[in-house]
Chain A
Amino acid sequence: MSCEGLNPMPQARAFRRSPDEVMRLAHMGCSHPTRLSFLRQLLRRLHAEGWRFDRPVWEIDAKGVGCAVYRAIGPARTYSLVAFAHDLPPEARSDRVIATAWDATFALFDGTPTPADLDRLAANVPLQEAGRISPRELSLSRANRSVRLFDHVVDRLAEGAQPDAAMLLDTGYLMRTTAVYGSGKFGAADREAIAQRPELSGPFQAEMLSVWLTRAFTVDLVEHLARARGGDKAVRLAPDLKRGLGVGNSTGLGMAPFLIRHPLLLNNWMLAREEALARVRAQTRVGDGELAGFLAALETARGNADLWTSAHDIQRAKLADLRDGLARVAAHVAQDWKQNAAHPWDDLWRWGQESLPIEAQEALLAAMLEPHGALIDGLGECMDADEGTGFAINGAMPVGELRAILRAHYGWALGIDYTERGQCARFWYVSEDKLEPRLGERHEEPGAERELPLDTGRQAAALWQALRGQPDDLPVAHLLLAAPQHRPAVRRAQITARHPFAEIRDNLIGAGMLPIDILRCKLAFFGATRFDPRSDRWVRISLFQDAPYPDEMGADA
């Protein structure tokens, strides 16, 4: 929903950044998770509503094969992660297309599964895409062991010792998911079937719940295997080591089109974050609690930046920027920050904009939001979207108005010559064998005639050309009757006019476009850390590192 009309802090609007700045890929590709990220929203709700958790089924043998069920019991409804653990030979372990089997497979079930439900899921969930789930399931996923670390942890615990802390920090997770499907995929419940439930109305809440419970399963599994091997000698994983473990995720190009295909959703995510920053910048004082919280967040960010490694050149340069930038923030805050300025947070932000690389600016943003929960957490309610409302085209809009929208919001697209080789070097398509989105080289590979309509800038420019010479008062409906090929561009322009953060303001088919920039933005909204690109189009990340476990939920969150 849009909360624009209900904004309790209209004065913050003056402090908002422009979409021309933040919707560029160079900017989106530096996104950091914040307290508005989806996994943080989930954990806050579970804590605030006093959700309970149990594990009614644990039928895993000494080899680590079997079934387990984890329940999350809320005030109105219960959800169950059904986990199947498999015995996977090393040669079958892959985190991508060649795999047909995994160490563990999962489904998030709506309610408490009966034995018949478990039988049905056992026949389908381990097959993943080759099986079929039902509207009783909200997600389908799988994970592989991070073998070196997994085996090390089991070995050590079985011997009665704790694993090597440095090894744990280095990898950061025991298992890595390779896909978490939701929203109607493979027969699962459609988004609209569950979107009215308060606990699932926020984006990706079912998927986040599934991954969080998966994290508990990974720890239970290593402790179980250690007990099976070491008997009475075995020990459990020390709580502080356990805390530092997340769930890994390996994700690729296919995630990128989501942000292009869901402009209303993208707008609401970005707008919530931008409004949060604006609210903080609009504050007229720095409270003691806020200052302490900010300094703690900054310190945590510096610690994370030190632990965050990547072998990819682009990311290494960004990490250097980040570490250096955060050190400069810490020095500035300690020595030069004018906390008695009329708008002290804005003063700090403006300094950052002038002095820091984008990577560090976005980290500063996250740290500034961190101590302001009371001011901004409500914005989380505005991050879903009724996407049906954006589908109808306003055919009565005069061409003059459409032209003005393009001029105001698509300046980045209209000046480009898309016949130039480099400006149209790529095309997005669906691969025949895997049915996954891919990026092709237009001038070197076949298939461009089957291009997906993700060339948003080129489409906007083509629409701009089609409007040339048309009278200002011509209704758009007349134009579309003659030229229906412009429907997607007209729809996007009309959405962007009302929702200015809806459109990525960059040429998505240009030679220099980096898909990992799109992935980084989306994954930061999920709450992912340790963003580690392995090429310009696929990455590994970590989720829920340093978050509480279900059995710790009453204590803190």
Chain B
Amino acid sequence: MRVQANDPTRLASSPIAEAGQAARLSLSETHALCAKAARGAGFDWGLAEAAGHAARWLAARALPGCEMLLQRLQADAVRPRAPGLAQDPDALLCPLHLGTALADHAALPEVTGRTMIDLGHVAMPGLLLPFLATAAQQGVRDLHCCADETSFTFQADGTPEDDQAFPALCSVTRAEIRVTFLQARRPVSQPQSPAADLPLVPQHVWRALDALALRVTVPSSTRSISGAGSEGSDND
């Protein structure tokens, strides 16, 4: 496919490599690319938007959201029946389905009534981080998370107490996750956006996501082009 220049409505362009074979995407580019890629990979738009949101949240913290999402889209993972509901102990759960379910249920008795929830084995567990932040906010409680041997806490306003464990969590392809909701220890404040450098996205990751994103596009028909803009020259 050849992409021509000049369109007032263009949604994306091919990012130019900046450092070797990597490019720096803005957060809005990350969001749009990942949402469309998830949709192209077969997720419905609701989950696809959640995927875009998650990748953006991670990129804003210099974490490799694009890479993790791509790996998730390229591998199989199981959709959970409910957060914390007894699962096949060997099932590898989808972090997007699990994350949205946990955040949706965070203020409900099946979650608030329990001290600890065993979420099971999760694929690309780093993708769960944005949803854990949302779950803490929705439940208005601190959320302590154990992922294999590491642990960290989100405050009730969604900000991480300590993010040192995040890069390690984002580098593994699976982890066993357990979360505990705790009484909020500080008054809830407005979360501040971090100001980290945007992460570099390897060209092969961008290309693979872009290829998935292109699956949601439609070849232009003559008819659709005809009404979209000026037919003639701009010399008037």
Contacts and interface: CB of A to CB of B under 8 A. Distances in A.
Nearest to A178: B8
A515 B93 CA distance: 42
Looking at chain B's contact residues, is the secondary structure mostly helix, strand, loop, or mixed?
Answer: loop
B218 A130 contact: no
B50 A251 contact: no
Contact of B235 (A90, A251, A486, A538): A90
Chain A interface extent, by class = 35 or more
A445 B47 CA distance: 27
A-B pairs, top 9 by smallest CB distance, nearest first, are: A254-B9, A487-B46, A395-B104, A184-B28, A447-B218, A184-B26, A96-B229, A477-B104, A179-B8
Contacts of A440: 218, 221, 224
Given A432-B214, A475-B108, A90 B233 contact: yes
Nearest to B215: A450
A552 interface: no
Interface residues of B, number: 67
B114 interface: no
A500 to B, nearest CB: 22
Interface in A425-482: 429-441, 444-447, 450, 452-453, 475-477, 480-481
Interface string B74-110: 0000000110000000000000010011011111100
A192 B28 CA distance: 10
Contacts of A252: 8-9, 228-229
A251 B1 contact: no
16 contacts: A94-B6, A99-B5, A102-B6, A127-B5, A253-B228, A254-B8, A254-B9, A392-B137, A394-B138, A395-B106, A435-B10, A436-B228, A437-B11, A440-B224, A445-B221, A491-B46
Contacts of B101: 477, 480-481
Contact of B218 (A186, A394, A446): A446
B76 to A, nearest CB: 18
Contact of A95 (B47, B50, B215, B229): B229
A104 to B, nearest CB: 13
A3 to B, nearest CB: 16
Interface in B179-224: 193, 195, 198, 214-221, 223-224
Interface in A252-303: 252-255
A168 B135 CA distance: 59
B11 A487 contact: no
A24 interface: no
B1, B6, B11, B107: which has the most chain A beta carbons within 10 Å?
Answer: B6
A190 B28 contact: yes
Interface stretch (B12-20, B118-126, B168-176): B12-20
Contacts of B36: 430
B218 A431 contact: yes
B234 A95 contact: yes
A254 B217 CA distance: 14
A429 B5 contact: no
Interface in B5-57: 5-13, 15-16, 23-29, 36, 44-47, 49-50, 53
B236 interface: yes
Nearest to B44: A485
Given A433-B219, A445-B223, A184 B108 contact: no
B36 to A, nearest CB: 8
Interface stretch (A27-35, A142-150, A323-331): A142-150
B2, B215, B233: which has the most chain A beta carbons within 10 Å?
Answer: B233
Given A394-B138, A395-B105, A431-B224, A538 B230 contact: yes
A218 interface: no
B103 A395 contact: yes
B11 A189 contact: no
B228 A477 contact: no
Contact of B217 (A184, A432, A484): A432
B104 A481 contact: yes
Contacts of B82: 481
A259 to B, nearest CB: 14
A148 B218 contact: no
Contact of B7 (A147, A187, A435): A435
B233 A435 contact: no
A241 interface: no
Contacts of B16: 131-132
